[in-house]
């Protein structure tokens, strides 16, 4: 027994040491998180304080103007919202479709390997490259013009790799037994994918969509390249009308501007008053991103509740 | 998914078929960011005056980018902070685009130093050249190397980015060759960055458009410029620019109007509005308006269908607006 006693102290010492390292690591982690949060909070607050005087209802209902006090973001926020709608409309189904195919159906050979490597690489291509591609392809070859449709398609291309990669990761996270269980009950491949794989991977896919859309909403370079405007004091035609067929897609080909362009234009003005407009617009842009993400997070939460495993 | 794809296809079809439809009365303008504030002000007032029956859009692609679109026939009017170049004239000619060249205001490039700088009373063009020419790179780093009367202190240079018309004009006017400048200075396309830089460093010197100086007068000191030895030092001001004594750094800025577009009533109305109210609005956004008769002469040129450019595709500095308006235009 005399041998055990020193051993016990030794072990306690070891445990203490390990616990000390735990504390150090946790504090380091909290410090990292704190730095990130503090930076963001400072920037966010700074924008809020700077732009506070401009954050009134008129700011949202007025068009740009040469007078800082009368200038608003109406054309910019409407433009951003519509472009984001088009982007999501194309990027989400295409991205999920491609991801599901690559993960579930594609034969495992060198062609698939090359496609995989390319998709991963595409996620890192600078956005201006997409802008130039879109200028040649959508604006001139397809003749879609400098329109909301072109901008939405361009940003959809930009975030497509992100959505595809996220979809594949989410599908890989589903335990093999789910698939096996479905097959064991006699489900076809389509049934397995439709009723199990895609629904169970939706939360993961939504995370990818959030990341992609958050990137798209702040993009300026490709949007400027395809010919977004700076001064535009009218809105696209309404998608709903009172004459049959009651809906129209005229707005897709309307000229437009987006929030980051409006903001950039204001920061480069000589008059100091425009800097407040820029800060206020920046604050709203962050809020729009939060709102969009909030919606996706809420959807993800609802969907997760339905997963029974 | 199936439904989503069907809707996608339907949306595409609708969008593409819809593209053929007319857009209504629309005036499309693109081009220089320097000219933008003036055109924006005119567009804003014009739309109000027309009760929004005519829509105007203004983009900022830069003078060069603007001409590319203009010569492809995509825009009605191009904002330009320098005259059209030979290559751009050829491009326009190839596509059958003829145009009117209308000077609409002056921009006075302003050389500024920090307000705490006590030794700079004025600078000659030769001194500025010594400071900014390519040969100065890495060699001229102290104020006393430019002028022995100035102190032995480092020079901190702030200038326009190489993509801007401001850079082109400053180098042309000071160094004698467009785009020929030393490279070791703080360059920015955003003039507010340059304002900040000069206002924070007592040894700094920089140049940018007059409006940025006017808006930041409390943080900057404008340097009077001596054009040639023996000439008086002239500070930038409305009067000095209009009477032509602020040389060689004052330059006219232009709008180019496509002749084909001018046949459209909405474009003609807009251009006429521009020439009628341009003087007042240019002043409001801190540009130097042309003498009143220049706007009348512009209208006269439109009426007499005086197409083309008076520059022949080469950049020039230090021209008086009166002489400019008398010249014969060529396509």
Q: How many domains are contained in chain B? A: 2
Min Cα–Cα distance to chain B from A308, Å: 23
CA distance A126 to A106: 28
B257 and B312 inside one domain: yes
Residues of chain A numbered 106-165 and touching chain B (CB < 8 Å): 142-145, 149
B90 and B171 inside one domain: no
Q: Model-level pTM?
A: 0.81
A230 and A151 inside one domain: yes
DSSP state letter for A250: G
A212 within a domain of the structure (yes/no): yes
A73 and A200 inside one domain: yes
Partners of residue B190 in chain A, C-beta under 8 Å: 267-268
- The SS3 call for residue A232 is strand
Structure tokens at B142: 């102290």
Q: Which of A106, A208, A138 is nearest to A166 (CA)?
A: A208
Radius of gyration of chain B (CA): 22
Final residue belonging to a domain, choices B235, B267, B285 = B235
A225 and A235 inside one domain: yes
A103 and A244 inside one domain: yes
A9 within a domain of the structure (yes/no): no
A185 and A210 inside one domain: yes
Domain that holds residue B213: 110-235
B221 within a domain of the structure (yes/no): yes
Whether B33 and A272 lie within 8 Å, measured CB to CB? no
Contact assessment for residue A260 and residue A219, using Cβ atoms and an 8 Å cutoff: yes
A206 within a domain of the structure (yes/no): yes
ipTM above 0.95, yes or no: no
B117 and B33 inside one domain: no
- B217: CATH: 3.40.190.10
Structure tokens at B109: 């490039």
B102 and B147 inside one domain: no
Q: From first to last of its 331 residues, what are the pLDDT tens digits of chain B?
A: 444 444 444 444 444 434 333 346 899 999 988 899 999 999 999 999 988 889 999 998 888 889 999 999 999 999 998 889 889 999 999 999 999 999 999 888 999 999 999 999 899 999 999 999 999 998 899 999 999 999 999 999 999 888 777 888 899 899 988 888 998 999 887 888 899 999 999 999 999 989 899 989 999 999 999 988 788 899 998 888 888 888 889 888 999 999 999 999 999 999 999 999 999 999 998 898 988 888 888 888 888 888 888 887 777 776 777 777 777 666 6
Domain that holds residue A114: 55-306
B281 within a domain of the structure (yes/no): yes
Structure tokens at B1: 């998914």
**In the 3-class helix/strand/coil scheme, how is chain B assigned residue by residue?**
CHHHHHHHHHHHHHHHHHCCCCCCCEEEEEECCCCHHHHHHHHHHHHHHCCCCCEEEECCCHHHHHHHHHHCCCCCEEEECCCCCHHHHHHHHHCCCCEEEEEEEEEEEEEEECCCCCCCCCEEHHHHHHHHCHHHCCCCCEHHHHCCCCCCCECEEEEECCCCHHHHHHHHHHCCCCCCCCCCCEEECCHHHHHHHHHHCCCEEEEEEHHHHHHCCCCCEECCEECCCCCCEECCCHHHHHCCCCCCCEEEEEEEEEHHHHCCHHHHHHHHHHHHHHHHHHHHCCCEECCHHHHHHHHHHHHCCCCEECCCCCCCCCCCHHHHHHCCCEC
B124 and B217 inside one domain: yes
B230 and B259 inside one domain: no
Q: How many CB atoms lie within 10 A of CB A220?
A: 17
A81 within a domain of the structure (yes/no): yes
Report how many Cβ contacts below 8 Å link chain A to chain B: 96
B206 and B116 inside one domain: yes
B245 within a domain of the structure (yes/no): no
- A254: CATH: 1.10.3720.10
CA distance A77 to A73: 6
CA distance B241 to B103: 14
Mutate one of A209, A230, A248, A250 to test the B interface: name it (highest B CB count within 10 A): A230
B283 touches chain A (CB under 8 A): no
Q: How many domains are contained in chain A? A: 2
């Amino acid at each position: 027994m005399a041998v055990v006693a020193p051993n016990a102290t030794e072990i306690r010492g070891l445990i203490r040491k390990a616990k000390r390292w735990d504390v150090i690591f946790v504090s380091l982690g909290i410090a990292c998180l704190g730095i990130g949060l503090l930076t963001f909070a400072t920037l966010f607050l700074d924008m809020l304080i700077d732009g506070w005087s401009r954050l009134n209802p008129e700011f949202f209902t007025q068009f740009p103007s040469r007078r800082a006090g009368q200038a608003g973001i109406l054309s910019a926020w409407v433009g951003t919202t519509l472009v984001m709608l088009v982007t999501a409309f194309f990027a989400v189904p295409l991205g999920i479709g491609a991801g599901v195919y690559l993960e579930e159906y594609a034969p495992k050979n060198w062609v698939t390997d090359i496609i995989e490597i390319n998709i991963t690489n595409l996620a890192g291509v600078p956005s201006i490259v997409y802008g130039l591609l879109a200028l040649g392809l959508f604006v001139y070859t397809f003749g879609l013009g400098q329109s909301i449709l072109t901008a939405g398609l361009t940003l959809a291309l930009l975030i497509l790799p992100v959505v595809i990669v996220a979809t594949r990761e989410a599908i890989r996270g589903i335990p093999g037994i789910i698939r096996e269980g479905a097959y064991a009950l006699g489900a076809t491949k389509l049934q397995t994918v439709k009723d199990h794989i895609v629904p169970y991977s939706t939360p993961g896919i939504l995370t990818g969509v959030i990341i992609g859309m958050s990137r798209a909403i702040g993009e300026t370079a490709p949007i400027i390249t395809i010919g977004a405007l700076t001064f535009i004091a009218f809105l696209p035609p309404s998608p709903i009308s009172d004459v049959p067929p009651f809906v129209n897609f005229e707005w897709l080909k309307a000229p437009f501007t987006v929030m980051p362009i409006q903001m950039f234009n204001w920061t480069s003005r000589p008059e100091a008053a425009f800097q407040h407009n820029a800060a206020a617009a920046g604050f709203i842009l962050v809020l729009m991103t939060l709102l969009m993400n909030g919606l996706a997070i809420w959807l993800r939460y609802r969907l997760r509740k339905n997963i029974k495993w | 998914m199936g439904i989503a794809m069907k809707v996608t296809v339907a949306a595409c079809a609708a969008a593409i078929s819809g593209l053929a439809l007319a857009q209504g009365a629309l005036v499309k303008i693109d081009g220089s960011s320097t000219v933008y504030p003036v055109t924006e002000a005119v567009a804003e007032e014009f739309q109000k005056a027309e009760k929004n029956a005519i829509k105007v859009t203004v983009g900022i692609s830069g003078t060069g980018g603007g001409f590319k679109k203009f010569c492809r026939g995509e825009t009605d009017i191009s904002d330009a902070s320098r005259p059209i170049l030979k290559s751009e004239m050829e491009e326009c000619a190839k596509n059958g685009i003829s145009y009117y060249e209308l000077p609409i205001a002056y921009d006075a490039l302003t050389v500024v130093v920090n307000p705490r700088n006590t030794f700079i009373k004025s600078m000659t063009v030769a001194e500025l050249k010594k400071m900014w020419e390519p040969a100065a790179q890495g060699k001229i780093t102290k104020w006393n190397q430019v002028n022995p009367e100035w102190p032995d202190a480092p020079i901190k240079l702030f200038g326009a980015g190489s993509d801007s018309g401001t850079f082109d004009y400053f180098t042309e006017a000071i160094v004698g060759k467009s785009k020929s400048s030393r490279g070791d200075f703080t360059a920015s396309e955003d003039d507010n960055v340059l304002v900040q830089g000069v206002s924070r460093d007592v040894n700094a010197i920089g140049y940018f458009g007059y409006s940025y100086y006017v808006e930041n007068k409390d943080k900057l000191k404008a340097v009077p410029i001596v054009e040639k030895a023996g000439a008086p030092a002239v500070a930038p001001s409305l009067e000095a620019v209009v009477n032509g004594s602020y040389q060689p750094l004052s330059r006219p800025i232009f709008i180019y109007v496509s002749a084909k577009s001018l046949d459209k009533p909405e474009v003609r109305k807009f251009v006429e509005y521009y020439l009628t109210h341009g003087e007042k609005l240019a002043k409001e956004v801190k540009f130097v308006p042309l003498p009143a008769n220049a706007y009348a002469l512009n209208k006269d040129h439109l009426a007499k269908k005086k197409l083309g450019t008076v520059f022949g595709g080469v950049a020039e500095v230090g021209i008086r607006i009166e002489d400019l308006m008398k010249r014969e235009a060529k396509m």
